[in-house]
Amino acid sequence: MKACDKQLDLLIIGAGPAGLSAADAAARESLDYLVVEKGLIADTVYHYPIGLTVFSTVNELELREDTLRPCREKPTREELLSYYVRFALDENLRINTEEEVTRIERTDAEGFRVRTTRAHYAASRVLVCTGAMARPRRLGVPGEDLPKVRHRFTEPFPYVRKDVLVVGGGNSAAEAALFLSEGGARPTFAIWPSDWENRDPKKGCIKHWVREPLEREIEEGRLRLFLFSEVEEIGETGVKIKDAEGSSHTIPNDAAFILIGSDADLTLLRDVGVRVEKSGLTELPVYDPETFETDVHGLYVAGHFTNSRHIKEAIAIPRRIVPVIAQSLRAAV
């Protein structure tokens, strides 16, 4: 295990939009910083479905005004991913990829030791930007651990002419069902009636540009809509599922996608003493809404696992707080 002797000003955990924006701001403040990323640069975007067009507009996604230029109005996964990677390369951001942070420890009033799968680092400040994709939610039903069951969707091609069940209520599940239908699978989209009836963009309804082609697939008989109340069991060849009225059905099945959201892994924060509170279905670290500093002095949070959930805020918040962190470091000298 390599020990890094020098004390970094700022160690940033995660190289998603929040971590990239933080690294860019840290470089502009001339901080001695490092980003440690367990996967690849923009790993969450890398895991979006292949060929997906994202829903945000260009100005909400870019790290410098007028530098993201997709072929159509909104970028695809591929355009957005190569934009973030190119940005990190052009700005020569200091990012270690495929290195996971396993523990943050307080050393003294002005410092932390950060342990990773490859090294130990000493840092005066730590900014955690680890996103909210670590723990896909599970139905908790028998058969959910079968190899044919997935909690992420990336592409339709392995499922051509296969019976595929998609379970979920949001846009990601609807998009997966649509991609599978257009891609030649025989999908059943199992959705709770309240989610199917939800038309409110503020309450996470299916986006209209997904819903319209999805409804066309349903009308033309390529996609089966199943308003359900409960998945009872996933078997090798079939799934037992109750409809909205509570009657049980067994439908043929070769593969299943359970796309019901995901939660952040807040273990790193909890273990160093950050208070975590319940917020609806999920949990949030306690932090100052102005500075994003947690109740552990010198430890900050940004991005998807805070109340600022979208890429626009994941980029904007570090731009605001890194100069404040730089100021606090200068004041401490």
- Count of CB atoms situated within 10 Å of the CB of 110: 14
Q: Does residue 129 bind ligand FAD (CB under 6 A)? A: yes
Residues 326, 316: Cα–Cα separation, whole Å: 16
What's the closest the beta carbon of residue 27 comes to ligand FAD, in angstroms? Answer: 17
Site string for ligand FAD, 193-232 (x = CB under 6 A): ----------------------------------------
The single-letter code of the amino acid at 332 is A
Interface with ligand FAD (CB under 6 A), residue from 10, 13, 174, 326: 13
Residues pairing with 116 in the sheet: 101
Among positions 48-87, residues that touch ligand FAD (CB under 6 A) are 48, 52, 54-56
Q: Of 280, 303, 277, 292, which is closest to residue 204 (Cα–Cα)?
A: 280
Interface with ligand FAD (CB under 6 A), residue from 8, 18, 81, 223: 18
Give all strands (DSSP E) within 45-118, no chain letters.
Answer: 95-96, 101-108, 111-116
Q: Which stretch binds ligand FAD (CB under 6 A): 37-45, 193-201, 269-277, 320-328?
A: 37-45
What's the closest the beta carbon of residue 132 comes to ligand FAD, in angstroms? Answer: 6
Residues 200, 95: Cα–Cα separation, whole Å: 39
Q: Does residue 191 bind ligand FAD (CB under 6 A)? A: no
Q: By CB neighbour count within 10 A (0-12 exposed, 13-18 middle, 19+ buried), where does 174 fall?
A: buried
Q: Does residue 14 bind ligand FAD (CB under 6 A)? A: yes
What's the closest the beta carbon of residue 55 comes to ligand FAD, in angstroms? Answer: 4
Q: With residue 217 as reference, give the H or E element that holds it.
A: helix 208-219
Residues 270, 301: Cα–Cα separation, whole Å: 13
Residues 43, 165: Cα–Cα separation, whole Å: 26
Interface with ligand FAD (CB under 6 A), residue from 9, 24, 43, 62: 43
What's the closest the beta carbon of residue 146 comes to ligand FAD, in angstroms? Answer: 23
Q: Does residue 101 bind ligand FAD (CB under 6 A)? A: yes
- The number of residues in the chain equals 333
What's the closest the beta carbon of residue 262 comes to ligand FAD, in angstroms? Answer: 8
Cβ distance to ligand FAD smaller for residue 15 or 68: 15
What's the closest the beta carbon of residue 153 comes to ligand FAD, in angstroms? Answer: 8
